[in-house]
C-alpha cells in the first residue's frame, strides 16, 4: 500500500512538472535574462582609477597588470598652492584566461573604478585575446547596469562595445610594433615572440607589483 502511495505521489509530481513546460533556455538563439549583478566581465572607469595598485595586490590569481607614471600638476597661477604629483595610468590589463571571477578587485577598489557587467560571451579562439587592456575594459562600462553606477557618473553612450577579439588583436599588434629592444616586459608580449614562445612559458606574466 505504501509503495502505491509513493507511486501516485511520484506521478502527481511528474504531471505537475509536465504542465509547467520546459525551462531550457535556447541560447544563443535567445539571450538569457541575467540578474543585474551577474559577474560576467569587469569594466574599468579609467578616470576614477588612481593607480593605487590595491586591486592588483589583492587579486588571488595575479591577473591584473598595472603600469603608471607620475606627473606634476602645477597649481593655478596666483592661487598660492604648491605643485602636486598625480599618478597617470599607462596600462591596466586583466587576463581573463586566469581570472576566477571572485570579484575581490571590484570589492577592494576604494575609488569606484571597477564594476561588473553581465556580458559573458567574449570567448576567443586565441588565448592572447583574453587579455583585455584598459581601452577594452573601458568599453565594458557601457554594459554596466545603471543601478551600480558611481555617484556623478552619467554613462558613456557614445563608446561602442568592443567586438570579441578585434580590439585585443589590434592592441597585441600595436604593442609588438612599439616594443623597445631589451625591454623584456614588453617584448615578451609581442606577437612574433608569443607565437614562438615555449609552451611552458607562454602563460607567464611579468611581476609588476611593488
Ligand atoms: S575577479 Fe578575482 S581573479 Fe578576477 S581579476 Fe578580480 S580579483 Fe583577480
Ligand atoms: S584599486 Fe581601483 S583605483 Fe586602485 S588601481 Fe585598482 S582600479 Fe585603480
Give per-10-residue mean pLDDT for the chain (210 aa).
89 89 83 88 96 97 96 87 92 97 97 95 94 96 92 75 48 57 41 43 43
Q: Looking at residue 40, which CATH number applies to its domain?
A: 3.30.70.3270
**Is 140 inside any structural domain?**
yes
Contacts of 41 (CB under 8 A, 6+ apart): 96, 116, 117, 119, 120, 122, 132, 140, 143
- pLDDT for residue 177: 67
**Is 1 inside any structural domain?**
no
- Cell 579562439 locates to 125
Q: Is 43 in the pocket of ligand 2 (CB under 6 A)?
A: no
Residue 175: Cβ within 10 Å count: 16
Ligand 1 pocket, CB under 6 A: 59-61, 63-64, 94, 99-105
Say which ligand is closest to the CA of 89.
2
Burial of 89: CB neighbours in 10 Å, binned 0-12, 13-18, 19+: middle
DSSP category for residue 202:
T
- pLDDT for residue 56: 98
Q: Compute the radius of gyration of the chain from its Cα atoms.
A: 24
- pLDDT for residue 173: 62
**Domain with 128 in it:** 36-159
**Is 24 inside any structural domain?**
no
Nearest CA to ligand 1 atom 8: 59
Nearest CA to ligand 1 atom 7: 59
**Is 182 inside any structural domain?**
no
Query: Which atom of ligand 2 is the closest one to the Cα of 44?
Result: 7
Query: Which atom of ligand 1 is the closest one to the Cα of 106?
Result: 6
- pLDDT for residue 77: 85
- pLDDT for residue 182: 43
DSSP category for residue 9:
H
Nearest CA to ligand 1 atom 3: 99
Q: Is 98 in the pocket of ligand 2 (CB under 6 A)?
A: no
**The C-alpha cell of 142 is what?**
557601457
**Is 71 inside any structural domain?**
yes
41 Cα to the center of ligand 1, angstroms: 10
Query: Which atom of ligand 2 is the closest one to the Cα of 114?
Result: 7
Nearest CA to ligand 2 atom 3: 49
Nearest CA to ligand 2 atom 4: 52
- pLDDT for residue 188: 40
Nearest CA to ligand 2 atom 6: 55
Structural domain count, the chain: 1
Q: Is 45 in the pocket of ligand 2 (CB under 6 A)?
A: no
**Is 112 inside any structural domain?**
yes
Say which ligand is closest to the CA of 42.
1
**Is 191 inside any structural domain?**
no
**Is 198 inside any structural domain?**
no
- pLDDT for residue 130: 96
Amino acid at each position: 500500500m505504501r509503495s502505491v502511495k509513493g507511486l501516485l505521489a511520484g506521478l502527481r509530481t511528474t504531471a505537475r512538472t509536465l504542465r509547467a513546460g520546459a525551462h531550457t533556455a535556447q541560447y544563443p538563439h535567445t539571450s538569457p535574462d541575467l540578474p543585474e549583478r551577474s559577474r560576467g566581465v569587469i569594466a574599468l572607469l579609467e578616470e576614477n582609477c588612481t593607480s593605487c595598485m590595491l586591486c592588483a595586490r589583492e587579486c588571488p590569481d595575479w591577473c591584473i597588470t598595472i603600469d603608471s607614471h607620475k606627473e606634476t600638476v602645477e597649481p593655478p597661477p596666483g592661487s598660492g598652492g604648491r605643485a602636486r604629483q598625480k599618478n597617470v595610468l599607462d596600462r591596466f590589463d586583466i587576463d581573463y584566461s586566469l581570472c576566477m571571477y571572485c570579484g575581490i578587485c571590484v570589492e577592494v577598489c576604494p575609488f569606484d573604478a571597477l564594476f561588473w557587467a553581465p556580458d559573458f560571451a567574449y570567448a576567443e579562439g586565441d588565448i592572447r585575446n583574453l587579455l583585455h587592456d584598459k581601452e577594452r575594459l573601458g568599453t565594458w562600462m557601457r554594459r554596466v547596469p545603471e543601478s551600480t553606477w558611481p555617484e556623478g557618473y552619467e554613462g558613456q553612450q557614445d563608446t561602442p562595445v568592443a567586438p570579441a577579439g578585434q580590439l585585443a588583436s589590434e592592441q597585441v599588434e600595436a604593442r609588438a610594433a612599439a616594443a623597445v629592444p631589451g625591454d623584456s616586459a614588453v617584448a615578451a608580449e609581442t606577437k612574433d615572440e608569443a607565437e614562438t614562445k615555449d609552451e611552458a612559458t607562454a602563460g607567464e606574466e611579468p611581476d609588476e607589483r611593488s
